[in-house]
Amino acid sequence: MVPQAPFADLAAANAAAAAWCAEVNGTVHSEICAVPAERLVIERELLAPLPSLRASIGKLVMRKVDRLSCVRFGSARYSVPTRLIGEQVGLRTDDERLLVIVTGGREVVAEHVLVPPGEASVRDEHYGGPRPAPRRAVRPKTAAEKQCRPARSARGNRPQPFQHRAQLGETTYDITPYRYEIGQVAKDFDLTETAVREWVKQAERDAGARQDGGLTSAERRELAELRRENRRLREDVEVLKRATAFFAKETR
């Protein structure tokens, strides 16, 4: 179709095709009675992107990304890339996972394992590193908090640095209940006080400091995996039951 064919290599063929297209599109077309290249400049503003061919499965729930680059779903929080702060995104659950989808191009921008209400699933890659903890002075309220107050330094009455880090999912947080007020932490991170207290309890369980019968983060992940495996096994058993009934009917 392109003049001067055949060509020695693909690069020569592409160059000849580009020159031929420029020549053809630069002359008046008999069907439209206009130059195609000039008509394209006029019509380009009216063109819209093609719809996505990705199949839409399940119900899509819309959420707005808050200023901490998180969305709420099922009374829990999930992180998304910071470039989406203030934008509307779609949420869909799939096999114990939560998919965060940009509705324009149906692009999956984040994927999380579903967590219980009051907890959070935060990925460091969405922020370029661990999220900073608020810098607030401690004001202990309970007797336990007063006993765990850090020692005073020799210079002045400022408390020495006191670190209590907790591993929640894949992210490390500094959520020391004795260094920051629970209410102030909840305000700084746009959370509820109940959620922050649950984070502290979970961190203490993971560290072995709390023995209240609750599951550690590793045990929760293992339980979720066992539930998925149990569901798959039930589906396999159901298939085998139907196959057995079918072949039993055929042999009669």
User: Alpha-carbon distance 32 to 39, whole Å?
Assistant: 9
Q: Which residue has the tokens 């746009």?
A: 190
pLDDT for 95 equals 73
| pLDDT higher than threshold 70 for residue 64 | yes
Tokens, residue 122: 């935060």
Q: What is the share, in percent, of the chain residues with pLDDT greater than 70?
A: 70
**Cβ atoms of 197 and 189 closer than 8 Å:** no
| pLDDT higher than threshold 70 for residue 75 | yes
- Residue 58 confidence class, pLDDT cut points 50, 70, 90: low
- Residue 134 confidence class, pLDDT cut points 50, 70, 90: low
Neighbours of 65 (CB within 10 A): 21
- Mean pLDDT is lowest, of 53-62, 81-90, 160-169, 243-252, for 160-169
Residue 157, classified by CB atoms within 10 Å of its CB into exposed (0-12), middle (13-18) or buried (19+), is: exposed
| Strand duo 120-121 + 76-79: pairing | parallel
Cis peptide before 6 (omega within 30 of 0): yes
pLDDT for 216 equals 87
- Name the residue ranges covered by the structural domains of the chain: 10-46, 61-126, 143-207, 215-252
